[in-house]
Structure 1
Amino acid sequence: MSSGSDPPRRSGTNGDETAGSGLEAGGDADAEAVGSEMPDLGDQWTVDDLDEDWERRAVEMLEDVDFDTELGVELSRDALRLAQGELTRAEFNEKHHDDVYEEFGVDERPTTEAGGIEYESSTRTATSSADGSPLPSVPETDSRPVPSRRGILKSAGAAAAVGMTAGLAGCLDGAAQSTTADATSGEDGNDVQLGMAIDMNHCIACLKCVEACKQENDTDRGTHWMHVFRYEEDEFGDVTEEYMPRPCQHCSEPSCTYVCPTQARHKRSKDGLVLTDYDTCIGCKYCEVACPYGVNFLGKGEPTDKSPGFTGSATDERGETVGGPPPTGVMGKCTFCVHRQDDSAQRGTTACEDDCPVDAIHFGDMNDPESDPRAYLRENDEESRFSLLDQQGTEPNVVYLGTEPTKDAEPVDGPYTYEDLDMETLAESQNGGDGE
């Protein structure tokens, strides 16, 4: 991550400390627990650490979607190699292009600008199937790619399984900008990159940030875009419980974007936000496997909290639906409240920061020396700081103040249910508290 004069400093000196070791993270959670574990990746991480346990978890993530599991695992493994610099973008795209196109009928990843290579027709212009009936979700235009018939049939199978509402058709305008931080300039002449400084020393695990996020974004039951890890550290018999809030890291090199066949998952140029275009996401969940932070959830459309805040779907200036709860069968995650960033009255704020009672979360442009997070880092220059799993090469844009979790950190069961969070679902409120 580029943060000017305030680069993150890694805590510890023995090379054995890492974040996220064995701690449970996002995934397709239900109301009773969060989902898949974050891989235990050491400070000297290599792709050889993506072992059988990692592959087992990856396969489990893809069990409920009707797309090629082996392809998703291999794409994700190589996406992490790419982030590490072991593969070039051109090598990665060329290696997997044929398989991606065969599986999905479209591959919007390679471009001459981003990948350095150009393939023969990866897109088509048909808008109807062989029998003349319209293809699902295909816009009436000859300027956007349309998936093959095989891809459409597979999409229909997935739709039957998970109620998918978005089809395969379409891609983002300007795919090269979607995966490249071609951001506009900030006041200091640097690119704008929104991010956070989170002070773990102040966090009290009150879960106000979790509740605020759910109420603001109206996410599915059991889906927590903001999560607070609770874990114990044992140093020479002295056991302490620690807390670490975990939003999406909005990486500068987001591995989740590398694997998206339609480029629905992309990095927005104007502010560096990593977002999902709900209109073109097909719900293959490859982004979930490729992300090391456990922040991705497949939209389930289950009863949500009573939400006095955000309603509907946010459409940004490029006409992409990128905010609010994802439709059923479409991937969603923390957006840094993108609907606020696109609203001049709320720009520069997030729900989790607003509701934190101990001022642990500071949001703003990480490339602006005068922004709130940069100022906070400067004011607390003596505190240890780290970026979560930054050894993977994804360049996360969240900086933590506090002691980095060690490889021996033990997860502690935390409050994950609605009852634990003292939140009422819409179904409960409508049925007089009788539940779903």
Structure 2
Amino acid sequence: MRAVVELAQAMAVARSARETWRAAARGARRALGGSFAALSVWERGPGRLRVLVNEGERASGEEEFPEDETYPVHRFPEITEFLHERWARGGAPHAWAETAEGPAGGEAGYCHQRVAALRRRGRGACVVAPLVLDGRAWGELYVARPAGAPVFGQAEAGLATVLAAVVAAGLAQLHRLEEARRLAFTDPLTGLANRRLVDQRLDEALERHRDEGLVLSLVVCDLNGLKRVNDTQGHAVGDHLLERFGCVLSRGAARLGTGTLAARLGGDEFCLLALGPGADEVVAVAEEICAAAYALDVGEGVACGVASTGDPIGPVASARRLFRLADAGAVRGEGPRGAPPRRRGARGERRPGGPPRRRRPRGPGRRPSGDTRVRHHPRAPHRAPPHPRQAPPRPLRRAPRRPRLPPRLTRPPMTRIPTLSSRRFIS
């Protein structure tokens, strides 16, 4: 009972999927007195059993969290045939034990592939417990002992069945939390990330930019003409436009690599967060996004603003400043349909790949050589003389004042004056 409680507590405090898998395998291994434990999931689409975690004394070639350790599911018929039918129809998912010489106790779950794996990796016995989630076979819990150790008996197989039920409950809770997390960080219409995830990733990217010097770029895109599409063609067409541009933005994120995030900030505003690629590469992808948005049969294109630490934009102390620079570029980039993105720099905007724009000198100290124009002081009033061909302005004529009429005579209100009665009183 203590082993079951410890397993449930370890899975409850895990903060990620990998920690949950490790806690499940480690708790089962300790409870059953094994030297090795593995947790695998049945991927029905490709038809394979994929190992999620290997915990304990690993053999040569085994990794704790393997990237691609899979086995064809047809090699394990007990997963897909009669045992699966018994589990899925409400039967108890009983565990069974096997040894390097064959099944212990003549169990029907015998599989020569597992026996061969035990011999190849120097293990003497194993117990396999099926995992069932929501009435469907999900995977298996595997615990092994080294060669020469006592084999698993019926009592230990029963304990493995109980442990598998606890692990399945923890995995179901993990799946619900992952689904809630996915909904919390995903835009429901486009499937892209939302503003909450962008803020979180941007803070992490800023830390890596300061620590590792990686180039951080932000592309803000304003979808033009969405309101007109909603008003003239309906909100269904407007939602379809948002979905199509989300696909365009997702392809742009794929061009920049795995460290790029495509998101919808809200309404008609989208963004692309890239960590690692250079500023010129990000601008080239932004130009492709503008061209692809222009090619859509609805809408009026997109206005893009690019702010990158690879350009001379000065130190980026906060995510708000990077957003402000990119958003200002998107606002100033609103113009004709299919206009290129606006690139922000320390000395103003400049064309992608071109030199910075030269500012006109201001003030008497910055007057270029040979400039002989007379500059008037802003406080000194100056009136230019009239043109010789221009007629002098006519004086303004004041309209005659209307005579003031006397106030209208009104009849004074009548007041009632109390009078004495003419009746006399005779005593």
Query: TM-score scaled to structure 2, two decimals?
Result: 0.22
Q: Kindly name which structure, 1 or 2, has the bigger radius of gyration based on alpha carbons.
A: 2
Greater fraction helix: 2
Query: TM-score scaled to structure 1, two decimals?
Result: 0.21
- The one of the two structures with greater contact order (alpha-carbon pairs below 8 A, sep at least 6) is 1
